[in-house]
A and B are shown apart, each in its own frame.
Chain A
Amino acid sequence: EDQVTQSPEALRLQEGESSSLNCSYTVSGLRGLFWYRQDPGKGPEFLFTLYSAGEEKEKERLKATLTKKESFLHITAPKPEDSATYLCAVQDVYNFNKFYFGSGTKLNVKP
């Protein structure tokens, strides 16, 4: 069965302290891996799509990478406004309407 596991569940960083979030997945065939940011009480906001191992995407302080088994979201010199829950989702090549979401990593960046 397709599964997505994110770690850690929660992460507290000081402003400027870089770190990485992990998303490991098991899927029959990967169509795409997606990263979202979710603020409390709001819908997830799209960040990146990755399609194949070795691919990287960057946006401001965030960089997403993909291997055959996992993806990392690297946060460089985070700011308090980066505090949010980061969700990873995978899309199965055999069922493109279904996205398997991980439970997320709740990031708290202290000033």
Chain B
Amino acid sequence: DTEVTQTPKHLVMGMTNKKSLKCEQHMGHRAMYWYKQKAKKPPELMFVYSYEKLSINESVPSRFSPECPNSSLLNLHLHALQPEDSALYLCASSQGRNRGEEKLFFGSGTQLSVL
């Protein structure tokens, strides 16, 4: 299994809703990432769980919160989002820190629309 699976593929939510995005990989990768990508822009790193340690992009608002229940799963909890948060949310994983292990494997993304 060489896939990163993201659910749901599409999500429409109101500004008062609470929702969660889910990401799963079964490749034994030690790092998992959340990226945000606006149209025609590069992916922007939001969070990294690497070797059980969370790293945060300090520019990410607190209405986004990551959760890593185990080494194969990574959730992104959403609360009180704004319309400008509408974007493609990408999950990725990488094998480890050694040369040849760094490349990112991306899921297909969740297209989020905030109304």
A residues near B, CB below 8 A?
Answer: 31-32, 34, 36, 41-46, 49, 51, 87, 89, 91, 96-99, 101-104
- Contacting residue for A45 out of B33, B106, B109, B111, CB 8 A: B106
Question: Looking at chain A's contact residues, is the secondary structure mostly helix, strand, loop, or mixed?
Answer: strand
Q: Is the CB of B100 within 8 A of A49?
A: yes
9 nearest A-B residue pairs (beta carbon): A43-B106, A101-B42, A97-B48, A46-B103, A44-B106, A43-B90, A43-B109, A43-B108, A103-B42
Q: Is the CB of B104 within 8 A of A34?
A: yes
Interface size for B (C-beta < 8 A) is: 28
Q: Is the CB of B42 within 8 A of A104?
A: yes
Minimal Cβ-Cβ distance residue in A for B53: A97
Docked complex Cα distance between A98 and B55 (Å): 10
Instruction: Judge if B105 is at the interface, Cβ distance under 8 Å.
Output: yes
